Amino acid sequence: MTRKGDLFFYGAGGSEPSEPGIDQTVSVVGAVSGAQAGAPLIGIEGVVPPRLRATLHRRPNLIPVLAELTDSFRRQWQEEMNLPGSASMTIGNESDQATQVREGDIVRFEDEGYAVFAWIVRELNRIQIAGGEEIDQVTEYSGDGLLSIFKEAVVYPANGLGAKPIEEDRYFSWQDAAYDESWWGYAARYPADYWPGVNDSPDGMPPNSGMFAGVTDWANVLPGCPRITAPNTTYWLAPGGWSYMRRLVYFGPDDPTREIIVYWFADDAAYVWWDGQPQGQTEYWSNDNSDLQQFQVEVTPGWHVVAVAVQNHEGEAFWSEGFGEWINPWSLVMAGFPMEPTTGEIGGAPIFTTDPEHWRMVAYPPGPPGWTPGQVILRLMVEAQWTRSGLAGVTAGFNEQVDSAGNPWPNVGDIATKVGTDYLTFFLELCETYVDLWMEPSQFRLHAWVKGTRGQAKPVTLHPPLDANNPLSGNLAGLSYKRVD
C-alpha cells in the first residue's frame, strides 16, 4: 500500500514479530530516515499495527525503543505549522511503566504503524482520578514537540562570552568574523602611492592638487599608508556603486585586553564595522581634514574583523585640467594603533593597515553580501554542538545553499537578533519571513524550507482535507489540528 503524508513507519527500533509470515512491501511517500533509508518497509501478513501506540526513547538516539507504553491512555497531541506543538498522556501509578518515563525522555506516538508525533517530556504531574467506585493515582505526562529542543540553546556573541567588544546584538552578515569570505577576491593597491604633504601631487598634476592633499592631518598619523581599491580600477576613473572589504586582525593569547584606536578615510562615502558592530560612517568626500575619521574599541585576545563598505558616487566625476579628462577615483585608507592608556594617544607602531594582501573584497556586487537562512541556522547548531556540547543528536536535512526540497536559499543581508535569545525564539523569528521548519518524529533531524514552499517535495507531502467536515483528513500548510485517542 502507499500512504502519503509526514508519517514514518516505526519499524526502525520497533519490536519484530515472533514468527515470520509472508512479506508485504509497504511504500511510503516521503523521506525515510535512519536505518530505513533507501529500503522498502516489510510488514507481516495478518499482523495489524495498533491504532495508536506510544513508545519511549532516550536522547540522543531516538531509534531504539526502550519500552512500549501499553498502559498509557489519554494520549493526545497538537501540532501547528512552524511551532513545536504539545502532547500529553496518562499512566496509572500501579503500572511499572509509570516509573520508566522521566523528565527529558522522548515519547513517540504512532498511528497504524507510522510515527506521527514525538515530544519531549517536560512535566510530570501525579494526580488522583475517580475510576468507577475507587480513587486511582495516576501520573500525567506533558511536553512539547521535538522542535522545542532548540529552547535549550541560546545565541552567544560571535566571539563567545567574555570577548570584547561586548555585543548586545548578533548580526549574521558579511561583517561577522564567521562569514565565509573564501569566494571573495583580494583588494588591490591603489595604482598611485599616497602623497601626504599638502603641496605634493602626482606627476602631471599642478601643485596642491593631490586627491588627498587636503587631509593634512593624515600625514601626522602615518605618512605613506597604503591605499586600497578594487582590482582593475584605473588610476583616476572608477564606476559608481558599492564595494565591500574586510580583514581579520589577530591578537595573541599573551596580548592583554587593550584599547585600540583606528584612523580611516574613504573616497567617497563609507560605513565601518568592528566585529559586526557599527563604528562610524561618512557621506561625502570633502578633501579636507573633516574626512579623517577615528574610533576606539577595547579588544580581547583572538580573532576580530574590521569591515568597510565604500560607495563611489555615480555621476560625481569631475574634469581634471592636469590630465585633461574626467576623473572619479575611489579608495580606502585605514590603520589601527595600540592606545596609550594614560594619555589616550597612539602608543606604538600600527597593528594593521590597509595593506592589500590582508584585505578581501567584492567589488560592485548586485547587492550587499549576506547569509542564507540555512547558513544562519547551521552556524548556530555548530556553535551549540561543537563549542558548548549542546543539542546532542540534532542533524539537518538541508545545507547552506539549498533547503530540504533542494530549493536555493535567498541571500539575506540583515539577519540579526539579541544576544541571549534562545534558538527556538530566533528560529520562529526567521519563520515570519524566510523559512518553514519541521522536525522529523522519528529522529532529531531538522528540516527547513524557503518560506511558503514546505511540502512541495519530500519528506512532507501536503494536501487539503478530503472531507470538508474533517480537517484531519488533510495536512495543508498552516493547518492547526489536535489528535486524541
**How would DSSP label each residue in 240-272?**
SEEEEEEEEEEE-TTSPPEEEEEEEEEESEEEE
Burial of 89 (C-beta count, 10 Å sphere; 0-12/13-18/19+): buried
DSSP letters, 3-18, are E-SS-EETTTTSPPPS
Give, rounded to a whole angstrom, the gap between the first and last alpha carbons of the chain: 24
Q: Is 170 helix (H, G, I), strand (E, B) or coil?
A: strand
Paired sense of beta strands 2-3 and 23-28, if any: parallel
Contact by Cβ (8 Å): 107, 89: yes
What is the rounded distance in angstroms from the CA atom of residue 447 to the CA atom of residue 81? 13
Reading phi first (left if > 0) and then psi (alpha if -120 to 50, else beta), residue 290 is in alpha
Determine the pLDDT at residue 266.
87
What is the rounded distance in angstroms from the CA atom of residue 295 to the CA atom of residue 285? 18
Burial of 260 (C-beta count, 10 Å sphere; 0-12/13-18/19+): buried
Closest by CA to 247, choosing from 143, 391, 351, 136, is 351
Determine the pLDDT at residue 234.
58
Burial of 430 (C-beta count, 10 Å sphere; 0-12/13-18/19+): buried
What is the rounded distance in angstroms from the CA atom of residue 171 to the CA atom of residue 426? 12
Per-residue pLDDT of the chain (485 residues; tens, 9 = 90+): 223 233 333 333 333 333 332 222 222 223 323 333 333 333 445 555 556 789 999 998 888 899 999 999 888 888 877 899 999 999 999 999 999 999 999 999 887 677 888 999 999 998 876 655 555 789 999 999 999 999 999 999 887 887 788 888 888 889 888 888 888 999 988 765 444 443 444 444 444 444 454 555 555 556 567 888 888 765 567 788 899 999 999 988 877 778 898 989 888 889 999 988 889 998 877 666 677 788 999 998 889 999 999 998 876 556 655 555 666 778 898 989 888 877 777 778 888 989 899 999 999 998 889 899 999 999 999 999 988 889 999 999 999 999 998 999 998 877 889 999 999 999 999 999 999 999 988 888 999 999 988 755 444 444 555 566 655 455 443 334 455 54
Residue 428 is given by DSSP the state H
CA atoms within 13 A on the CB side of 128: 4
Residue 420 is given by DSSP the state T
Closest by CA to 87, choosing from 130, 62, 122, is 122
Q: Across the strands, what pairs with 404? A: none
What is the rounded radius of gyration, in angstroms, for the C-alpha atoms of the chain? Answer: 31
CA atoms within 13 A on the CB side of 232: 6
What size, in residues, is the chain? Answer: 485
What is the rounded distance in angstroms from the CA atom of residue 336 to the CA atom of residue 394? 42
Reading phi first (left if > 0) and then psi (alpha if -120 to 50, else beta), residue 389 is in left
Burial of 411 (C-beta count, 10 Å sphere; 0-12/13-18/19+): middle
The residue assigned the cell 520497533 is 14
What is the rounded distance in angstroms from the CA atom of residue 7 to the CA atom of residue 30? 8
What is the rounded distance in angstroms from the CA atom of residue 469 to the CA atom of residue 419? 46
What is the rounded distance in angstroms from the CA atom of residue 179 to the CA atom of residue 165? 18
Contact by Cβ (8 Å): 324, 236: no
Closest by CA to 8, choosing from 145, 117, 89, 144, is 117
Q: What is the pTM of this model?
A: 0.72
What is the rounded distance in angstroms from the CA atom of residue 173 to the CA atom of residue 443? 31
What is the rounded distance in angstroms from the CA atom of residue 150 to the CA atom of residue 426? 9
The residue assigned the cell 568592528 is 274
The architecture of the domain spanning 174-363 is Sandwich (2.60)
Paired sense of beta strands 445-450 and 395-396, if any: parallel
Grid coordinates of 53 = 501506540
Determine the pLDDT at residue 375.
93
Residue type, 385: Q
Q: What share of the chain is helix, strand, coil (3-state, %, to 5)?
A: 10, 40, 50
Determine the pLDDT at residue 197.
40
What is the rounded distance in angstroms from the CA atom of residue 391 to the CA atom of residue 206? 66
Contact by Cβ (8 Å): 332, 201: no
